[in-house]
């Protein structure tokens, strides 16, 4: 993965954007990573991947709760905010 300092990313922005179309680019400031820039296509693919992963986790949790006999009434009681 290519690395640019924040200043380089600013002063060589055109090159920075071109590089991002080919691979993610790490941005450093004061010797620490402050961000990673990816192409819009890569970002959308990551967003879809994590949304699908979350949906699978939710579906699996619901199936486990159903197998364990958790009813909607019990769930409501568990989630009630009565502090």
- For the question of whether the overall pTM of this predicted structure is more than 0.75, the answer is no
Q: How far apart are CA 61 and CA 54, in angstroms?
A: 11
* Average pLDDT rounded to a whole number, residues 1-17: 95
- Reported confidence tier of residue 40, pLDDT bands at 50, 70, 90: very high
At 77 the pLDDT is 87
CA-based torsion, 59, 62, 66, 67: positive or negative: positive
CATH superfamily of 2-38: YefM-like domain (3.40.1620.10)
At 83 the pLDDT is 56
The two structure tokens encoding residue 43:
């970002």
Q: How far apart are CA 63 and CA 70, in angstroms?
A: 10
Q: Is the pLDDT of residue 30 over 80?
A: yes
């Amino acid at each position: 993965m290519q690395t640019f300092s924040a200043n380089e990313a600013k002063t060589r922005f055109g090159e920075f954007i071109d590089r991002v179309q080919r691979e993610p680019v790490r941005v450093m400031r004061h010797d620490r990573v402050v961000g990673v820039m990816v192409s819009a296509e890569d970002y959308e693919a990551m967003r879809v991947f994590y949304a699908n992963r979350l949906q699978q986790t939710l579906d699996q949790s619901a199936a486990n709760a159903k197998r364990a006999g958790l009813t909607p009434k019990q769930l409501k009681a568990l989630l009630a905010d009565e502090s």
